[in-house]
Each structure stands twice: as structure tokens, then as C-alpha cells.
Amino acid sequence: MSLRLSFLGGVGTVTGSKFLLEHDDRRILVDCGLFQGVKDLRLRNWAPFPVAPRSIDAVLLTHAHIDHSGYLPALVRDGFAGKIYCSHASLELCQILLRDSGFLQEKDAESANQHGYSKHQPALPLYTLKDAEAALAHLSSVPFGQPMKLAEGPTITLRHAGHILGAATIDCEWEGTRIVFSGDLGRYGDAMMPDPEPVPEADYLVVESTYGNRRHEPVDPQDALADVINRTKSRGGTILIPAFAVGRAQSLLYHLEQLKAARRIGDIPIFLDSPMAINASEMLCTHLPDHRLSADACTRACDVAEYIRSVEASKALMVNPMPKIIISASGMATGGRILHHLKHYAPDRRNTVLFAGFQAAGTRGAAMVGGAESVKIHGGYVPIRAEVQNLPMLSAHADADEILRWLGGFTRAPRKTFISHGEPEASLALRDRIMTELGWSCGIPSHLDSEVLE
């Protein structure tokens, strides 16, 4: 029997990545992410999984971000009993991210019931902290660069993808056919993360297209940061930065430390208000081979901010009228402490809400960057009078030129390339460039599409 590849998520959108490989009676799932953004997508998280979770033999994880890993607790709760293979750093990050996700699912349901802003009575969490803990027991680490034959069938090789700590491309060879999954590709020349490692060949390729229709501005991120910070500080305002707890938060700390050391932003205090981001930042210094920073540079970056762990300390920041920088999760303002800060700071024209990368359709971040005059938070509408900026050059995603550069590392054209993990316009633009510039056969799958790999 030939291999079959099915697209259970991560197509037509930048979230919910899930790709199913099947051979005979074996099933391997590559990534297991949560859908985020518009309501129609979020509702997919609550629908029955397209195949019985207990029928899946193993999961391969490209990296730990929730849009690639966040459905794992539900998968395990509903019957998946196999191993989840990923890099060692991704394993450790999942211990942080999945616990936090389960905790937030419970808290959001509790808050909805307390304040009555859910249509469901009672509102229930998608999964619980206990479900997340159960999923973590299935994680198994795989070293980079060493082919590993899995008992479940395929031989896999992980290569560094850049993007965030532990992120990998997955080279999966099964019954003589080689399928490569890009996961999320990082930037070339990033200050912290390594360049995406080239992959020599593939029979079939699944490649992301988050920035498939865009180029990052050739602007020094420190220049852009300094400009926004100093402009806001001069009017007595606070800079509120919604940032992904894993990846962007650590990159921001590095750039802010460099700016402070160069005396370009004065002595403005910096607060990291996200227990998850704090844990991920502390982890950075224990994985020196996985990024570019020296031990000293890593320590300096992590020490530039005051860590805010407790809810009480987070609330105290809002009472403090002095100009300051607050970095808080999440990066698209979809949940967590950032929502409380937005309710406090966004209505004041002195302040700035500074996004640091891609904002998926349907998120508060996308609405604010698009000029929304108000956003809905906790059942009510919050006016947006603060300055809103987005600095896409701080993104952890390769742009279209960088994706093409990575594809240039293949020594031969895949039989077919599947464009994934992008909004429709981005996927279409990348497909056209790959076909025109490389002459490769390309397709853009739709949700639940399936294809036999000859």
C-alpha cells in the first residue's frame, strides 16, 4: 500500500497544524496544534478528531508553539496512547507551554462562568491541567542530525529550523518514500537563533507559508524598538508588548538589553509579566548549543527585566504611573495577563501597544493592527486610543525570500510540494513563486484533503 498524506489542520490558516501519514494500518501524526483566530476555526478544536485518536501510533512534533502542540492534551485524553517524538528543547518547552495552556483553559472557563459572558452553561475548558500533565508523559526526545528508526515504522531525522528553541524540520523516510515537513522556518542571520538548516532532498515536501507573500523590512529591529520606546516615553506613556512567551519574549529581552547597554533608551524599567515566558527565558541559558548567544550574553538578556510572577505583582504594574515597558503573553492578544493590561493601557493615548510579528486573522492583535477602534475583552468592548504599532522585522518566521532561499538547498525537485500554514493569499503567492522560480510541482491543500504519495 502507498503512503497517504492527509491535511487535518494548518492549511488555509496559520494555526492548527496537523498532518496525518498512513501506511497499511499504521498512522503517524505530524504536529498536533490548536486552531486559533476566527470563531469558525476555534470551533474545530471542539469537533471530534477526524480519525480515532487511539488509532494513531505516534506523533512527530516540529516545535512547541501551541499552534503546533496545543491539541496534544485532548488527543491523549481521547485515547492516543503512543509516543510523541520531538527535540529535547521542545520536550522541555512543552512542559511549560502545555501546562500553561491547560491552566488557562480552566481559568477562562471559570471566568466565563463567573461573569456570564459565555453562551454555554456552564462553560467548560477544552482540556484541563490534568489532561496536559497526562500528555507530557508521552513525550520522547530525539537528537538533532541523527537518523532514528522508530518502532512505529518510519525513520526520522530532525534538523534545526531556527524559529524558536528546539524547532526542527522533520525528514521522514517510510517504505522508501521521503517526506519532509518544514514546520516553521526561522530567519537567516537572526541575532539569537541559528539559520534554518538545509535539507538535501525529498520526494514530497510540506512547507509553511506564513509570510509567503511578504518581505521583512530591511530595518534594524533595535532602531525600530528605540524609536517607539523613546517616542512613547517622551509623552509619559507605557509600552505594552504582547509577545509569544517562547521565542519573541526572549528575543525582545536580548534587543532591549543591547539598547540599554548602548544607552539608547535610558533607564526605563522593563517588566516580563508572564510566568511561562519567565520559565522559557531561564531555560534559554541551559540550551546554549541550540542558539547563538554566549552564556554571558544569555545571562545579561535574561537579567534586563524584572520578572513578575504573581497576579498581585501584575496588578501592581497598572497602579504604577511611571513610563515602563511591559512584555506579556500572548503574542496575538488571545489570552492571558496581556488582556488585563490592554483593558488598562489601551484606552490611554499616551501609551503604545507594540506587536512583534504576524497576527492571525480573527485575533485581537490583527484587529488592533488593522486599526480597530475597540476590541472585545472579557465580554465587554475596550476602546483603543493608544498608539498601535507592529514591527514585523521582529518576527521569528522566514519571509518569502528566505523560504525560497531554504528551498534552494534541495539538490533535486520534490515530486510535489504542498503549501501549508498560511492565510490563502500568502499560500497562493508562495506557490506561484515556487512554480515560476524553481519550476516545482506545487499544490495548496484544503482542510481534510488527502493525497496518495506514489
Q: How high is the mean pLDDT in each 10-residue block of the chain (454 residues)?
A: 92 96 96 91 95 98 96 98 97 94 86 70 90 98 97 96 96 96 96 95 97 91 96 97 86 95 96 89 88 92 93 92 92 87 96 89 91 92 96 90 98 98 96 98 97 91
| Distance, CA of 73 to CA of 95 (rounded, Å) | 11
Tell me if 186 sits within 8 A of 358, measured CB to CB. Answer: no
- Cβ neighbours of residue 370 closer than 8 Å, sequence gap 6 or more: none
pLDDT of amino acid 282: 85
- For residue 92, give the H/E element and its range: helix 88-115
| Distance, CA of 273 to CA of 117 (rounded, Å) | 26
Q: Does residue 163 share a domain with residue 302?
A: no
Tell me if 214 sits within 8 A of 302, measured CB to CB. Answer: no
Q: Does residue 202 share a domain with residue 175?
A: yes
66 vs 63, 221, 252, 316, 331, CA distance in Å? 9, 25, 20, 29, 12
Q: Does residue 181 share a domain with residue 127?
A: yes
Domain that holds residue 353: 221-394
Phi first, then psi, for residue 207 (nearest 5°) are -125, 140
pLDDT of amino acid 1: 62
Q: Does residue 368 share a domain with residue 429?
A: no
- For the chain, the domain total comes to 2
Q: Does residue 438 share a domain with residue 329?
A: no
- Cβ neighbours of residue 402 closer than 8 Å, sequence gap 6 or more: 185, 187, 188, 196
340 vs 86, 328, 343, 404, 428, CA distance in Å? 34, 10, 5, 40, 37
DSSP secondary structure code for residue 200 in this structure: -
Q: Does residue 419 share a domain with residue 361?
A: no
How crowded is residue 434: how many other Cβ atoms within 10 Å of its Cβ? 24
Q: Does residue 86 share a domain with residue 172?
A: yes
Q: Does residue 40 share a domain with residue 101?
A: yes
Query: Which grid cell is 210?
Result: 506564513
Of 394, 411, 428, which residue is a domain's last?
A: 394
Kindly report, residue by residue over 369-408, the tens digit of the pLDDT: 999 999 999 889 999 999 999 988 888 899 999 999 999 9
Task: Determine the distance from the C-alpha atom of residue 409 to the mean position of all C-alpha atoms in its chain, rounded to a whole number.
Answer: 24
Q: Letter for the amino acid at 17?
A: S
Q: Does residue 165 share a domain with residue 40?
A: yes
Q: Does residue 269 share a domain with residue 388?
A: yes
Q: Letter for the amino acid at 296?
A: D
pLDDT of amino acid 116: 67
Q: Does residue 332 share a domain with residue 318?
A: yes
Kindly report, residue by residue over 197-247, the tens digit of the pLDDT: 999 999 999 999 999 999 998 889 999 999 999 999 999 999 999 988 788
Query: Which grid cell is 175?
Result: 517504505
pLDDT of amino acid 217: 86
Of 345, 360, 394, which residue is a domain's last?
A: 394
pLDDT of amino acid 118: 62
Query: Which grid cell is 334?
Result: 488571545
Tell me the torsion sign for CA atoms 110, 114, 117, 120: positive
Of 394, 418, 441, which residue is a domain's last?
A: 394
How crowded is residue 423: how many other Cβ atoms within 10 Å of its Cβ? 19
| Distance, CA of 67 to CA of 360 (rounded, Å) | 11
| Distance, CA of 93 to CA of 359 (rounded, Å) | 22
Using left for φ > 0, alpha for ψ between -120 and 50, and beta otherwise, residue 265 falls in: alpha
Query: Which grid cell is 177?
Result: 518514500
pTM: 0.90
| Distance, CA of 417 to CA of 179 (rounded, Å) | 10
Supply the CATH number for residue 163's domain. Answer: 3.60.15.10
| Distance, CA of 208 to CA of 192 (rounded, Å) | 21
Nearest to 63 by CA among 172, 179, 181, 150: 181
Supply the CATH number for residue 228's domain. Answer: 3.40.50.10890
Count, residues in the chain: 454
Continuous H helices in 337-451 = 338-345, 364-369, 400-407, 424-433
How crowded is residue 373: how many other Cβ atoms within 10 Å of its Cβ? 10
Radius of gyration over every alpha carbon of the chain, rounded to an integer in angstroms: 21
Residue-wise over 311-338: b if at least 16 C-beta within 10 A, else e? Answer: eeebeebeeeeebbbbbbbbbbbbbbbb
Phi first, then psi, for residue 353 (nearest 5°) are -100, 115
Phi first, then psi, for residue 367 (nearest 5°) are -65, -45
pLDDT of amino acid 405: 98
Q: Does residue 326 share a domain with residue 207?
A: no
